[in-house]
Structure 1
Amino acid sequence: MQISQVLQALGQFASGLAPVSRSVRPLEIDFDTADALGPFEQAAIGQWKTEDGSILIDLRPDGQFHKAKPAAGAKHVGRYAVDRSKLYFEGETGWVALGKLKRGTLSIGEKRFRKA
């Protein structure tokens, strides 16, 4: 049997398996609630600062963060993601960090933050 005959036979077989054409049903997605933030995201959003005020972090609803060290004049930006009580940070230079949100305290490494 030649390869063209095999391909033709497979095409006829596959066409017999194809579903019968049916009407298309629109998707039932509520776009107003598709971007709604969950309780963990809502708890994370806002301005956070260390107890001594040496570091300030602004977590924004769009997944972006701004970090500032006022005494050193340093500012960093990046993005973050929330997975239940864990926050994953990625800075503009590629550094990454893991944060944990527990009882109103955000812990990133050895630093502890409270809402400002």
Structure 2
Amino acid sequence: MAFTQIVQALGAFTARVIPAAKPARPLEIDLDLPARLSPAERAAIGTWITEDGAMQLELRRDGRFDKTKAAEQVRYRGRYEVDDNRLYFEGDSGTVALGQLRRGVLDIGEKRFRKAA
């Protein structure tokens, strides 16, 4: 038996033993389109400032926040989640806080934030 015949026979044998790869399906998730936001999430997103102007809190659409204290130029970052009128904050340093959004006022601990114009 010639070498080429052996290779062809081996190829035919492996084609029967090993199934052919399935064709790749197109990705069903469109990563460019943002997810639909709930009304509570839409109300929370934006820039919030304390009544005395000492702190600024930016809630971004991607679930991240930046909190800045104006006098000290200190910046805190982390993530947040919205559950109806409650906001759960977790800083990158591990600190956690609970906020509540009512009638355009965001209460986090003793601080009251209003949406920036």
TM-score (normalizing by structure 1) = 0.71
Q: Kindly provide the amino acid, as one letter, of the partner of residue 54 in structure 1.
A: A
1:102 shift after superposition: 0.2
Inter-partner Cα distance in structure 1 for 2:34 and 2:74:
36
Distance 1:44 1:33 in 2: 20
The Cα shift of 1:68 comes to 0.1
Following superposition of structure 1 onto structure 2, how do residues 1-116 of structure 1 map, counting pairs within 5 Å? 35-116=35-116
Shift of the 72–86 alpha-carbon distance from structure 1 to 2, 3 Å rule, reads: same
Q: Which amino acid aligns with 2:64?
A: Q
What runs of 5+ residues in structure 2 fail to find an aligned partner? Answer: 1-27
Read off the aligned partner of 2:55 and give its amino acid letter.
Answer: I
What residue identity is the alignment partner of 1:105? V
Q: CA deviation at 1:62?
A: 0.3
Q: Distance in 1 between matches of 2:109 and 2:85?
A: 15
Gaps of 5+ in 1: 1-28
Q: Residue 70 of structure 1: CA displacement?
A: 1.2
Q: Could you tell me which amino acid in structure 1 is paired with residue 42 of structure 2?
A: Q
Which protein shows a greater Rg? Answer: 2
Q: How many residues align?
A: 88
What is the letter of the counterpart of residue 104 of structure 1?
G
Q: Corresponding residue for 2:6?
A: none
RMSD: 1.8
Distance 2:71 2:106 in 1: 21
What are the superposed Cα offsets for residues 65-114 of structure 1, whole Å, 9 maximum, x if unpaired? 00000101100110000000000000010000000000000000010000
**Other structure's SS at 1:97 match:** strand
Identity, % of aligned positions? 56
